[in-house]
Every structure is written in structure tokens, then in C-alpha cells.
Amino acid sequence: MLKRFVPDQYVPSIFDISVEELKQQGIKGIITDLDNTLVEWDRPNATEELIEWFKMVKREGIDIVVVSNNTERRVKEFSDPHELTFIHSAKKPMTRAFKTACNIMKIKRSEAVVVGDQLLTDIFGGNRGGFHTILVVPVAKTDGVITKMNRRMERVVFRWMKRKGLIEWENKKKSSK
């Protein structure tokens, strides 16, 4: 059961995801979380660096769909200025939103990656749906109320992963500073 929480890959930030490698693997779409994956949970807009990343990914022919458990207003206000397709109130770790994102992009699951900062929603949901999953270090050191509860449970899973030699999360965090 706990293996469903293990990401296929983990990186310090979305900027450390090799778009070239994704293309070589046949990836045509990125399904990404919003809060604490792309920007801090309380930041309303994309940073300049993130805007450039969106442009680069699109130039490389890879689609992006933002899949968030947050409200329509939050996700729309973030996504619309960058012409990003989005799914709000996604109910992750349920898999429906991930599958819907693939349908929107007109790609197969094997042609998509799921990127997020939370094991209990993004990674667990992506793994349950049969996607390649990429865990990133959370952008912010703070979280909303519900996420704070999830983080406590995540720490238990991280300790299990560390004991099993499945992840070296602390090293990734240190290298991201």
C-alpha cells in the first residue's frame, strides 16, 4: 500500500524537470498541481521565471494542464493570464481529474506526467491512475490548514521511504536552497 505514495522521480522544483528527457520518453503533457508546486499557496500570480518556463515547455510541444483541489476562482485567476487549461476542485487523490486532463490534451496516460508537492494528493492520485509521477519540494515553507494536516501524515510516509532506501528527500531539499 505505501508504495503507491512513492514517486517515480523527485526534484527540487519544476525548473529541475528536464523537458528534453520528457520528450525523449514520449511525454506530450504535464499535469501539474498549483499551490506549493508552481507558486506559493498564497501567491496569486506566476513569477517571471515560471512564466518563462511555461513558454519554454509550450515551445517544446508539451501541453500543460493545472489540476488543483483549490477553488475555481483561485485556479482560474492564476491560469487564465497564461492561457493554461485547468481543472479546479479536482478531489485529488481521486483519479478522474488526471484522466480528464489527458482527454483535454488528447493524449494517453503513458504520454503524461503528474507533478506535485504532496504525496497524499498528487503522487498517490497519479500513481493510482497509472501515471509517471514527479514529486517536487514545496515552494513555500507554510501551508493552508488542510495541507498542514496532510504534511503530518506525509512525514510518516517519508520516514518509511527513508528506512527502505526509496528516497533521499533531505538531500534534495538541501540542494534546492
C-alpha cell at 132: 509517471
- pTM of the prediction? 0.84
pLDDT score of 146? 63
pLDDT score of 157? 72
Q: What are the extents of the domains in the chain? A: 2-175
pLDDT of 9 higher than 50: yes
What are the pLDDT digits (tens) for 115-152?
999 988 999 999 999 999 999 988 877 666 666 667 67
Architecture per CATH, domain 2-175, reads as 3-Layer(aba) Sandwich (3.40)
163 pLDDT tier (thresholds 50, 70, 90)? confident
pLDDT score of 94? 96
Say if CB 14 and CB 58 are below 8 A apart. no
Identity of residue 147: T
Spatial CA neighbour of 63 closest among 19, 93, 18, 97: 19
Whose cell is 517536487? That residue is 136
Q: Taking CA 12 as the corner, what is the angle to CA 9 and CA 13, rounded to the nearest 5 degrees? A: 95
Whose cell is 521511504? That residue is 161
What are the pLDDT digits (tens) for 28-87?
999 999 999 999 888 889 999 999 999 999 999 999 999 999 999 999 999 999 999 999
